[in-house]
Structure 1
């Protein structure tokens, strides 16, 4: 069982789904990926697989459009510094650093490409614990219209470099793939592992999801019944 206890600064370390239908979203991902849920607060829950934390689910605040979204958070040791850097690099802070209970602090921003991105400064646990197996996060994608603009922003923040072939690397380690596309909104996209991606895609569609990218060259991408997009990647069972 792959477990992660530490994350490099700048690496994707957490993901959560903010949804207008917390109960319905829980049922969808539970049926599709086998997740269970632990309540942290009335409006936020932890997704758990095999007893290990793999992400979070939050109720969308009143007044927002009725659409769900997956948010990806990058690890930081200093949320205030990251917040200041976002503004200096022509990003926009949507929510400045706020406490997340006793676990740490987070902030949300929009990068110069229009991608929503979170930052997580953990007090104890640094992020997702279970990864790289069926039902857990096993990769990330950054979908943008201009790869060089993304490299400039995340390179200045954390040292990301775009490798030949599209891998987004920190110190030579790939943490995401950059996909250049004008289709759909730009975003950070979590990928979930599947022993049989074809079957996972079929079951997701049966549960009400929509296939938005078939996955001929890149991983297949689905949109859940409330609009949150995620990818599916093959991993050994």
Structure 2
């Protein structure tokens, strides 16, 4: 998507993964999604490419106590301002704002239920440059047990308009205020972690999902590479979905439309 517009505030613009072994991560995701990797100067992580376009980042986590996880980043023209707004709304500042050379400014936030997400103030790095091809980012969903607290947090911080999904218990879609509510304008989803089928030790999180041509084949490939199947494949109104963990434990989703 050469020349694609910059992202409006509150729209997911980047996703990256902190791993104990970044080389192993490049092997796993390179084989699964066909990603090729480069290391832009000053980025501190490997960028994954679909064709000529960056779609994700992988890096070795600096502290073994940190979670092995994918992190979704939301665009903003001012990471410091939005971080302060999130903290005032009941979130927790995890790190930043950190200036990443000329690339941009990054901050990490935990929502009131503990799900961590990023804020990205672009410099020369605008974020995703491809969103339609297999291997590209597809969607994100906040997974929480505390929707009564989490919903107003995101709707205040990002000025989202909320939209409950008809016929889908516990699911909500969010659109930026200027976009208007509805399925066609949504940029983020929220699902409630059900007590009867989700382990109590599973923390709240933001689940990143990637496009694939065939969900079943992607699951088979992930299992061959040492990953684990957590859910699916199952049909949804938006395509066939599966939730996986890679060979180091980072959880992500795949979806075939």
TM-score, normalization by structure 2: 0.85
- In the TM superposition, residue 19 of structure 1 has moved relative to its aligned partner by 0.5
Is 1:195 paired with 2:213?
yes
Aligned to 1:96: 96
Paired with 2:138 and 2:3, the residues of 1 have a C-alpha distance of: 12
Aligned to 2:169: none
Paired with 1:227 and 1:4, the residues of 2 have a C-alpha distance of: 33
Aligned to 1:51: 52
- In the TM superposition, residue 146 of structure 1 has moved relative to its aligned partner by 2.7
Paired with 1:33 and 1:89, the residues of 2 have a C-alpha distance of: 37
Within 5 A, what are the aligned runs for 1:72-221? 72-165=72-165, 166-170=172-176, 171-172=179-180, 173-182=185-194, 183=198, 184-216=202-234, 219-221=241-243
Paired with 1:233 and 1:84, the residues of 2 have a C-alpha distance of: 34
- In the TM superposition, residue 79 of structure 1 has moved relative to its aligned partner by 1.0
Paired with 1:31 and 1:4, the residues of 2 have a C-alpha distance of: 27
- In the TM superposition, residue 49 of structure 1 has moved relative to its aligned partner by 1.1
Paired with 2:146 and 2:3, the residues of 1 have a C-alpha distance of: 33
Paired with 1:24 and 1:222, the residues of 2 have a C-alpha distance of: 16
Paired with 1:133 and 1:126, the residues of 2 have a C-alpha distance of: 18
Paired with 1:2 and 1:194, the residues of 2 have a C-alpha distance of: 21
Within 5 A, what are the aligned runs for 1:11-90? 11-40=11-40, 43-65=44-66, 67-90=67-90
Paired with 2:43 and 2:132, the residues of 1 have a C-alpha distance of: 29
- Backbone CA RMSD of aligned residues: 1.8
Deviations 1:190-220 (A, max 9, x none): 1110111111011111111111111436531
Contiguous gaps of at least 5 residues in structure 1: none
TM-score, normalization by structure 1: 0.92
Residue 162 to residue 42, structure 1, CA distance change in 2 (3 Å): closer
Paired with 1:79 and 1:234, the residues of 2 have a C-alpha distance of: 33
Contiguous gaps of at least 5 residues in structure 2: 166-171
- In the TM superposition, residue 101 of structure 1 has moved relative to its aligned partner by 2.0
Contact residue 110 and residue 117 of structure 2 kept, 8 A: yes
Aligned length: 234
